[in-house]
Amino acid sequence: MADHDPNHPAPTGSEPPPTSSSAAAATGCGSRVLGGIETNVETLNQLMRMMSEFEVTALDLVENGREIRLRRQKQTVAAAMPTPAAVVAPAPTSPVAPPVASAPEPAPLSKPTLLTIESPTVGTFYVAPSPESPPFVQVGSIVHEKTIVGIIEAMKVFTEIPAGVSGRIVEVLVKNKQPVEFGQVLFRVEPS
């Protein structure tokens, strides 16, 4: 009979094999061997969503000699500060002149709300299709929903990133060949 890890008892036959969902939920940190996981971009995205859902901060997968380590920062929630009670000032005893009406202040010029283009996956961000090519977009570029704004490479799979919004690029937040995270803001766009 094979030796078993005391932290992971052997299945009794009446238990279903662990799924990636139950494995992710059971793993708070450390290593876990999961068989049968196909390591592609969609699988990585699914694992990251499960890590977020089950508040897992670290997940190590080993399959057929390949190892994948996923890490994410814990979300911190700021404690709400209690608001102080209002202090009531005593009523003045002498008559007070009514306030002088002043001209209304002009309304501040409102800035348009900027839209963001976020990374759909973890990987390495590329600004152009090849080193010799010009960037897909730069500050000032006009984009539409289907405009390709960059490429993310993960495990030798290159994924084109469409803008998903229409407008003008006002800020580029990543550099060429920079590692990016799932959901990381890549660009800010002024809507058109």
- What CATH number does the domain containing 120 carry? 2.40.50.100
- Who has greater pLDDT, 148 or 10? 148
pLDDT given for residue 152 in this prediction? 96
Which range has highest mean pLDDT (52-56, 76-80, 84-88, 153-157)? 153-157
Given a cut of 70, is residue 164 above it in pLDDT?
Answer: yes
Radius of gyration of the chain (CA): 27
Indicate whether 12 belongs to any domain.
Answer: no
The confidence band for 8, taking pLDDT boundaries of 50, 70 and 90, is: very low
pLDDT given for residue 144 in this prediction? 96
Q: How far apart are CA 27 and CA 127, in angstroms?
A: 36
Given a cut of 50, is residue 134 above it in pLDDT?
Answer: yes
Q: Which of 42-46, 59-63, 72-76 has the lowest mean pLDDT?
A: 72-76
Average pLDDT, the chain: 72
Indicate whether 160 belongs to any domain.
Answer: yes
Amino acid at 161: I
Given a cut of 80, is residue 162 above it in pLDDT?
Answer: yes
Given a cut of 60, is residue 60 above it in pLDDT?
Answer: yes
Q: Please, is 135 exposed, middle or buried when counting C-beta atoms within 10 Å of its C-beta (0-12, 13-18, 19+)?
A: middle
166 backbone dihedrals φ, ψ, rounded to 5°:
-115, 140
Which range has highest mean pLDDT (11-20, 90-99, 103-112, 131-140)? 131-140
Indicate whether 47 belongs to any domain.
Answer: yes
Given a cut of 90, is residue 91 above it in pLDDT?
Answer: no
pLDDT given for residue 34 in this prediction? 47
User: Domain span at residue 171?
Assistant: 115-191
Which helix (DSSP H) or strand (DSSP E) does residue 88 occupy? none
Indicate whether 85 belongs to any domain.
Answer: no
Residues with Cβ within 8 Å of 178's Cβ and at least 6 positions away in sequence, in order, are 124, 125
Same domain, 67 and 123: no
- Who has greater pLDDT, 93 or 43? 43
Q: How many structural domains does the chain have?
A: 2
Given a cut of 80, is residue 104 above it in pLDDT?
Answer: no
Indicate whether 122 belongs to any domain.
Answer: yes
Same domain, 186 and 121: yes
Residues with Cβ within 8 Å of 55's Cβ and at least 6 positions away in sequence, in order, are 74, 75
Indicate whether 178 belongs to any domain.
Answer: yes
Query: What's the mean pLDDT in 97-120?
Result: 69
Indicate whether 78 belongs to any domain.
Answer: no
Name the domain boundary from 71, 87, 105: 71
Q: How far apart are CA 176 and CA 158, in angstroms?
A: 14
Indicate whether 99 belongs to any domain.
Answer: no
Q: What is the pTM of this model?
A: 0.46
Give long-range contacts, CB 8 A cutoff, 24+ apart: 17-23. 20/46, 20/47, 20/50, 21/50
